[in-house]
Every structure is written in structure tokens, then in C-alpha cells.
């Protein structure tokens, strides 16, 4: 079990050129240490220490999350007087208050609208550009490729200062569709990079056969190539979904209308407003409400999520 | 035939390229240009002022503080994160003891469980993580100080984010907390592709766990470590640091007490959108760009070594 999460198969081609050891596409049994002849004392101490560290870190990861869940069911008084004790009686109305009065429902809706639009757009435009760059020879191909992937290493905040005014001039500032377009644009570098590598690994013969049978280039792409590229699309889709769902910097700068806030900035807004009201329990309910769906989805799609996200760093 | 091909290429590239050029490339070019002007952002008029913004940068104490903090983040956060992650990943994949009848090599018991749990923070929004820790760090009723009281350390009650000496460390700890799991999983994937024979040969030669790690695992994993390092560094210089510092730290300027946690991306944001000094903000942004590229270049150079084929 422990070693089955090798990076997704798309990587092999991209990997060597970008300085990561070549990964055999097949999953293999993991290496492990056979410490057969290790004798008594010293080995055991080391073992206890290492296990202790592993347990300690798991504890450190889980405790803050459990603490938040627990706190979201407490009264404000309990939060202040006994941070670590269980709630005397679970306060479900905290959750109701956060969902309604504190506008969590609006923030969820805005986020779903934005991510729904931007994820669709990113995948469509990203795969179109990547396909052309991977499979067709034309003057300027290399230049465009590096233009796209160059965007991965530049500090985004630098571009956001002029972008704010560009969007303002286009009447896109503080609108959801403006945010959607921005998300798509800033997701393209990685998407194009990843999918270009992926399309190169696919066999060419199937597409050629389709062309010979009289399919147009566009039809070949949508009906033959995209289905073949499904594993790669899923990986990069998960990567983009989490990145866009959790995005904080772009909406903070470009989407300041309180009516249109997305989840991450809505929570920060909530922290400020509930802080004034002293409604900490409502705030924690909001935090946990935002946290649980993503964690639940992660636990269900654990393998795909891990593959999609680690593919991200293998650039 | 060729006519059709070029029309297809143009048709497929037009939309993504137009969007990318308008929203990413063009603002970048503009930003660099604006750094040589006195543009406020509030009015469309501005004049070219040459290097005046850059001269101002050299005398700006807060800029130097931000730069210092950003450099500290980019040096320390990846270092600590990667060291911890390598240790955990090694334990989870290679560190298991030999069990009779089991496969020759395994990780410790429950390694699948650890990997799932360690990865939790990675799927959460950095905003949620930052808010959570803001409360955990609260000196009076936060979880951390209450925990210290509970284990009898009631006299040790730091004012974490409110104390200029602790604030930046507290921020770093959060960044480490939320990225270690990602690297554990990434390195695990890398380690699982190292051939078993290498470990077996090392064992036959009597190598212990530590030797095996430094002589076999780390060299063969080096390329993954290096690209992970750059990835982490870009985050620590950019978006993640911005979010954590902007949300968590106190102070009227959002940069902690006495600017003790302010970082370059936050300073860009404050200058552009609060102080109405857009041109100066882009100048700071250009400095951030230079730091980012320098960091990437240094890591690439440090890491250059003979390619190990296996």
C-alpha cells in the first residue's frame, strides 16, 4: 500500500528534462530497509525515536483540526475559559448562524460559480493550447511554449498591480466573470506545461488514422485525443481545482465587493466582523464548514488527489 | 492541407493566448515599465522619473526589513520542511524493521495511514490554516498557550504573534506545518522508484540506516529534492507568505508589531492598494522578481552534480 502512490504516469516524458529522476511508469514494490542484523539497544532506541517522531507529527497535524471542530460546537464563554475541554452541550446553532447570518452560504455559492467556470475554462483552453504546442510544428512553437511556462516562476503580485487597472478599464473588476478569466489566465502556465508533456507521450497513430478517415483536426482533438488524455486531464484538473478553490491572493486584490466574496476571503472577512461582535463560535463553525468538504473529498479521492498535486511539483 | 493545419493551429491558440497575454504578460511588462514612473494608480496621468523609485528603495527601511524577512523565509522554510519531510519519508518507505516472512523491504507499520494524515493541511486553503493558527496562537485563550498551561508550563506564555521576537518564527512554523506532508508524499513517490537491489547491496555491506540514507536514498532522490526546493521557495516568497502574513499578523500595517513580519509581497500590496503608490509598489515587485530568480539560479547551481542514472 505504502508505495503505490508513485506520480501519475503522465510524468515520465516531462520528468527527465526537468531534472527529476526518471520514474518507471509501472508501480513497483517499494524499497524498504531490511535492518535484519541490527542488534539490540542502539537500533531499538533509534526505532523508538523515529516512531515517536512519526506519531508526534501526526498528532500535530490532527490536533489543530480536531480543536477547530470541537470549538465550533462550544459557546463563546467556553471558548474563552476552557480552550481544550469538550463542549458541555454541542451548540448546533453556531453552524446555523454561520451558514445564514454570517453569509457562508453566499460565499460557498460564489466559490462554486467561480471555480465551476474557471475550471472548465482552464481545462478547455489549456488542453487546446497544449495539444497544438505538443503535436504541431510551426514557426514560434518553442517561443510560445516558453512564454506560457515562464509564468510559473514569476511573482504574481507584481502583475496584480497593473492588472487591477486593466480589469477596471474592462469593467471586469469586482465581477465574478472577471475573476473567472483571471483564474484561467493564471492557471494556464502549469496546465499547458503539464499537458504538453502528456500529449507528447500519447501514440500518434490513432490520431493519424482518424485524420485519414476524414476527421478534421478539431474533431480528432475532441473525439480521439481528449479521451486518450483522460488520466492527465484528471491529474491537472484536481491540481487546478484545489488551487482555484483555495485561492486567496487573487480575489483579495481583484474582488473586493463584499457581495461577491469567495470562500477564503469570506472567512477572513468573517474573522474581522465576528471578532467585533465577539461571535467566535460562529466563526469557528464557518471555518470548519469550509474545511470539512475539502477534507472529505480528499479522503474519498485520496489517491487521485495525491497524484494530481505531486505532479505539480515535478516540474 | 497545410492551409487547414495553420488555420487549426491559429484557431486553437487564439483564445488561450489572447487571455494569457492580456491578463498575465501585458501586466508584467506594464509593471516593469511603471517602476520607472511616478504613477499613483489613482489617476491615469504619470510622468517617467527614471531611477527615482529605485533610489527611494535603497533608503526605505521597511523595504529592507521586508527583504530580510522574505530572504529568511526562502532560506529557512524550505530547509526545515525538506529535512523533516526527508526524515519522515525515509521512515515511511525504508525504515521498517525486517519482519519474518514479509517482503524484504518495507516502511514502518501504518505508513499508509501516516501519509494520508500528513497530507491533510495541503488540501486546505492557506486562508483557513492561517485563521486557525491565528486563534491557536492567541496568548490568552488560544490552544497553544492553554496546552502549555495544561502540561505545567504556565510560566511560559509567549505573546506569539504580538511579540516582535517571536512573530516571524510563528509565521514560519505555520508554513512548515502546512507543507511537510506534501513533501513526504512527493519524496515517497521518488523513493519508491529506487531499485531494491541498491538497498540490499548496502545491507550486505553492513550499512546502517543513517549510512543508507546519506549514501543511497539522498543522492538518488536529489533531483526531486531540488525541484521541490524551488517550488517551495517560490511559494515562500510569493502567495503563501502573503496570505499567512496578511491574515495572521497584527499591527495597523498588517506586518506584525513594528514591521516584524512584513514580507515583500505584502509590502507591494500595501503600497499599491492602501497608500496609492502604485509605481513604487511595482518597484518593490521588481525587487521581489530579482530575489525569486536569484534564488532559483542559486538552487540550480548548488544542485548541479553528475546525473545518476539508474
Interface touch B27/A159, C-beta < 8 Å: yes
CA distance, residue A27 to nearest chain B CA (Å): 8
Identify the pLDDT of residue B133.
92
SS3 content of chain B, % helix, strand, coil (to 5): 70, 0, 30
pLDDT at B310 exceeding the cut of 80: no
**Chain B residue numbers touching A298 (CB-CB < 8 A):** 119-120, 123
Q: How confident is the model at residue B274 (pLDDT cuts 50, 70, 90)?
A: confident
Confirm if B244 and A40 have CB atoms less than 8 A apart.
no
Which residues of B are less than 8 Å from A302 in CB distance?
116, 119
B205-234 residues touching A, CB cutoff 8 A: 206, 208-209, 212, 220-221, 223-224, 226-228, 231, 234
B54 touches chain A (CB under 8 A): no
Residues 58-97 of B with CB under 8 A from A: 84, 87-88, 91-97
Q: Which residues of B touch A29 (CB under 8 A)?
A: 103, 105, 196
Which of B7, B11, B12 to substitute to test the interface with A, most A CBs within 10 Å?
B12
pTM (two decimals): 0.85
**pLDDT over 90 at B199, yes or no:** no
Q: What is the pLDDT of residue B11?
A: 92
- Find out whether A261 and A110 touch, Cβ atoms under 8 Å: yes
B309, B220 in Cβ contact below 8 A? no
Residues β-bridged to residue B48: B37
Question: Degrees (nearest 5) of the Cα angle A78, A82, A85?
Answer: 95
A80-94, B42-56, B187-201: which is most confident: B42-56
Chain B residues lying within 8 Å of A33, measured CB to CB: 94-97, 105, 199, 203, 209, 212
**Mean pLDDT value across chain B:** 86
Report d(CA B92, CA B86) in Å as an integer.
Answer: 10
CA distance A78 to A69: 14
Q: In the prediction, which pLDDT does A37 show? A: 41
- Confidence (pLDDT) at B309: 55
Q: A146: Cβ–Cβ under 8 A, 6 or more apart, which residues?
A: none
| CA nearest to B280, candidates B58, B57, B67, B62 | B57
Q: CB neighbours (10 Å) of residue A113? A: 16
What are the start-end ranges of the H helices in B249-277? Answer: 264-273
Contact A253 B87 (CB under 8 A): no
Rounded to an integer, what distance in angstroms lies between the CA atom of residue A308 and that of residue A8? 7
- Of B66 and A314, the structure prediction assigns the larger pLDDT to B66
Distance from CA of A150 to the nearest CA of B (A): 10
Quick check: B209 and A35 CB within 8 A?
A: yes
- Rounded Cα distance between B244 and A151, Å, is 23
Among residues 239-268 of chain B, which lie with CB inside 8 Å of chain A?
239, 242-243, 246-247, 265, 268
List of chain B residues whose C-beta atoms are within 8 Å of the C-beta of residue A157: 238-239, 242, 265, 268-269, 285, 288
Interface size, chain A vs chain B, as Cβ–Cβ contacts under 8 Å = 363
Taking residues B199-226, report their average pLDDT.
85
Q: What is the predicted pLDDT for the residue at B198?
A: 85
CA distance between the termini of chain B: 44
Nearest CA in chain A to B98: A34
**C-alpha dist (Å) from residue B300 to A103, A190, A259, B184, B295:** 47, 20, 45, 21, 9
Q: With both helix axes pointing from N to C terminus, report the angle between B218-237 and B239-248 in degrees, rounded to the nearest 10.
A: 50
Q: Give how far A198 is from chain B: nearest CA, Å.
A: 18
CA A99 to chain centre: 24
Of the CA atoms within 13 Å of residue A214, those in its CB half-sphere come to 0
* CB distance B105 to A33 below 8 Å: yes
Give the pLDDT confidence of B228-265 residue by residue, as tens digits.
888 889 989 988 999 999 898 876 666 777 788 899 99
Q: Is B27 an interface residue toward A (CB < 8 Å)?
A: yes
Sequence-ordered list of residues with C-beta below 8 angstroms from that of A12, at least 6 positions apart, any chain: A22, A23, A24, A25, A201
Global ipTM: 0.88
Q: pLDDT of A5-26, one tens digit each? A: 434 444 333 333 343 343 344 3
Distance separating alpha carbons of residues A148 and A194, to the nearest angstrom: 11
The residues of chain A scoring below 70 in pLDDT are 1-44, 46, 311-315
Report d(CA A290, CA A281) in Å as an integer: 14
pLDDT at residue B18 is higher than 90: yes
Helix ranges restricted to H, chain B: 2-20, 26-34, 52-59, 61-93, 111-118, 120-123, 126-136, 143-150, 167-191, 196-204, 209-212, 218-237, 239-248, 264-273, 278-302
- pLDDT, residue A147, reads 94
pLDDT of residue B101: 42
Q: In terms of Cα–Cα distance, which of B187, B158, B280 is closest to A161?
A: B280
Determine phi and psi for A299, rounding to 5 degrees: -65, -35
- CB A263, CB A290: distance < 8 Å: yes
B positions 102-131 inside 8 Å of A (CB):
103-108, 111-112, 114-128, 131
Cβ B127 vs Cβ A268: under 8 Å: yes
Give A-chain residues touching B269 at CB under 8 angstroms. Answer: 157, 252-253
Neighbours of B76 (CB within 10 A): 16
* Cα-Cα end-to-end distance for chain A: 25
Q: Residue B30: in which H helix or E strand, if any? A: helix B26-34
CA A289 to chain centre: 18
CA atoms of A234 and A240, how far apart (whole Å): 10
Q: CA A178 to CA A122: how far, in whole Å?
A: 14
Cβ <8 Å between A271 and B131: yes
Determine, for residues A159 and B28 on separate chains, whether the beta-carbon distance falls below 8 Å.
yes
- A157: closest CA among A254, A268, A241? A254
Using alpha carbons, select from B98, B92, B133 the residue that is nearest to residue B113: B92
Q: Which residues does chain B have within 8 Å of residue A153's beta carbon, measured at their own beta carbons?
A: 234, 292-293, 296
* Set of chain A residues whose Cβ sits within 8 Å of the Cβ of B118: 57-58, 61
Per-residue confidence (pLDDT) for residue A14, from 0 to 100: 37
Q: Do B120 and A305 touch (CB under 8 A)?
A: no
- How far apart are the CA of A287 and the nearest CA of chain B, in angstroms? 7
In this predicted structure, which of A155-164, B159-168, B183-192, B298-307 has the lowest mean pLDDT?
B298-307
- Other CB atoms within a 10 A radius of the CB of residue B297 amount to 11
pLDDT in tens, B107-154: 777 888 898 899 999 899 999 999 999 888 888 878 888 888 888 777
Nearest chain B Cα distance for residue A191, angstroms: 11
Provide φ and ψ at B48, rounded to 5°: -75, 130
Interchain proximity A157–B127, CB inside 8 Å? no
pLDDT band at B308 (very low <50, low <70, confident <90, very high): low
Amino acid at each position: 500500500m505504502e508505495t503505490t502512490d508513485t506520480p501519475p504516469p503522465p510524468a515520465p516524458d516531462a520528468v527527465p528534462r526537468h531534472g527529476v529522476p526518471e520514474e518507471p511508469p509501472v508501480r513497483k514494490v517499494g524499497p524498504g530497509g531490511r535492518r535484519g542484523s541490527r542488534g539490540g539497544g542502539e537500533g531499538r532506541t533509534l526505532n523508538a525515536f523515529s516512531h515517536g517522531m512519526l506519531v508526534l507529527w501526526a498528532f500535530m497535524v490532527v490536533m489543530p483540526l480536531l480543536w477547530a471542530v470541537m470549538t465550533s460546537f462550544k459557546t463563546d464563554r467556553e471558548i474563552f475559559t476552557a480552550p481544550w475541554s469538550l463542549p458541555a452541550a454541542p451548540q448546533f446553532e453556531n453552524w446555523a448562524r454561520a451558514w445564514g447570518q454570517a453569509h457562508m452560504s453566499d460565499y460557498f455559492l460564489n466559490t462554486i460559480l467561480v471555480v465551476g467556470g474557471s475550471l472548465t475554462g482552464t481545462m478547455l483552453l489549456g488542453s487546446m493550447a497544449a495539444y497544438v504546442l505538443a503535436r504541431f510544428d510551426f514557426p514560434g512553437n518553442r517561443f510560445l511554449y516558453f512564454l506560457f511556462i515562464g509564468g510559473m516562476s514569476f511573482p504574481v503580485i507584481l502583475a496584480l498591480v497593473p492588472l487591477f487597472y486593466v480589469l477596471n478599464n474592462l469593467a471586469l473588476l469586482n465581477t465574478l466573470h472577471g475573476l473567472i478569466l483571471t483564474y484561467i489566465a493564471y492557471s494556464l502556465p502549469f496546465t499547458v506545461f503539464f499537458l504538453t508533456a502528456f500529449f507528447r507521450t500519447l501514440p500518434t497513430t490513432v490520431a493519424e488514422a482518424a485524420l485519414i478517415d476524414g476527421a478534421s483536426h478539431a474533431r480528432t482533438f475532441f473525439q480521439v485525443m481528449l479521451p486518450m488524455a483522460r488520466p492527465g486531464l484528471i491529474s491537472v484538473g484536481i491540481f487546478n481545482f484545489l488551487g482555484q478553490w483555495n485561492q486567496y491572493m487573487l480575489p483579495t486584490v481583484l474582488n473586493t465587493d463584499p457581495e461577491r466574496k469567495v470562500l477564503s476571503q469570506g472567512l477572513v472577512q468573517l474573522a474581522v466582523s465576528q471578532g467585533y461582535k465577539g461571535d467566535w463560535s460562529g466563526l469557528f463553525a464557518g471555518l470548519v464548514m469550509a474545511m470539512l468538504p475539502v477534507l472529505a473529498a480528499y479522503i474519498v479521492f485520496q489517491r487521485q488527489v495525491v497524484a494530481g498535486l505531486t505532479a505539480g511539483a515535478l516540474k | 492541407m497545410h492551409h487547414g493545419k495553420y488555420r487549426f493551429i491559429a484557431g486553437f491558440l487564439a483564445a488561450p493566448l489572447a487571455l494569457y497575454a492580456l491578463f498575465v504578460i501585458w501586466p508584467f511588462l506594464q509593471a516593469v515599465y511603471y517602476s520607472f514612473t511616478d504613477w499613483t494608480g489613482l489617476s491615469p496621468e504619470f510622468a517617467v522619473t527614471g531611477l527615482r523609485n529605485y533610489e527611494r528603495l535603497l533608503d526605505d527601511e521597511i523595504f529592507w526589513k521586508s527583504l530580510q524577512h522574505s530572504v529568511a523565509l526562502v532560506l529557512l522554510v524550505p530547509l526545515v520542511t525538506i529535512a523533516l519531510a526527508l526524515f519522515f519519508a525515509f521512515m515511511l518507505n525504508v525504515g521498517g524493521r525486517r519482519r519474518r516472512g514479509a517482503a524484504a523491504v518495507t516502511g514502518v507499520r501504518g505508513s499508509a495511514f501516516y501519509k494520508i494524515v500528513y497530507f491533510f493541511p495541503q488540501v486546505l486553503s492557506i486562508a483557513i490554516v492561517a485563521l486557525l493558527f491565528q486563534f491557536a496562537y492567541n496568548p490568552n485563550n488560544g490552544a497553544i498557550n492553554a496546552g502549555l498551561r495544561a502540561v505545567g508550563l504556565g510560566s511560559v506564555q509567549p505573546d506569539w504573534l504580538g511579540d516582535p521576537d517571536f512573530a516571524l518564527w510563528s509565521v514560519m512554523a505555520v508554513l512548515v506545518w502546512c507543507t511537510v506532508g506534501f513533501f513526504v508524499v512527493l519524496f515517497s513517490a521518488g523513493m519508491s522508484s529506487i531499485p531494491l537491489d541498491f538497498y540490499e547491496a548496502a545491507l550486505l555491506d553492513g550499512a546502517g540506516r543513517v549510512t543508507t540514507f546519506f549514501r543511497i536514498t539522498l543522492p538518488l532522490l536529489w533531483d526531486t529534492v531540488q525541484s521541490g526546493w524551488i517550488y517551495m521557495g517560490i511559494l515562500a516568497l510569493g502567495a503563501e507568505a502573503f496570505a499567512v502574513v496578511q491574515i495572521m499578523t497584527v499591527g495597523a500595517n498588517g506586518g506584525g508589531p513594528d514591521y516584524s513580519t512584513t514580507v515583500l509581497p505584502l509590502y507591494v500590496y500595501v503600497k499599491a492598494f492602501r497608500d496609492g503608490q502604485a509605481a513604487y509598489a511595482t518597484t518593490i515587485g521588481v525587487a521581489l522578481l530579482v530575489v525569486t530568480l536569484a534564488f532559483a539560479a542559486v538552487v540550480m547551481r548548488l544542485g548541479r552534480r553528475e546525473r545518476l542514472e539508474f
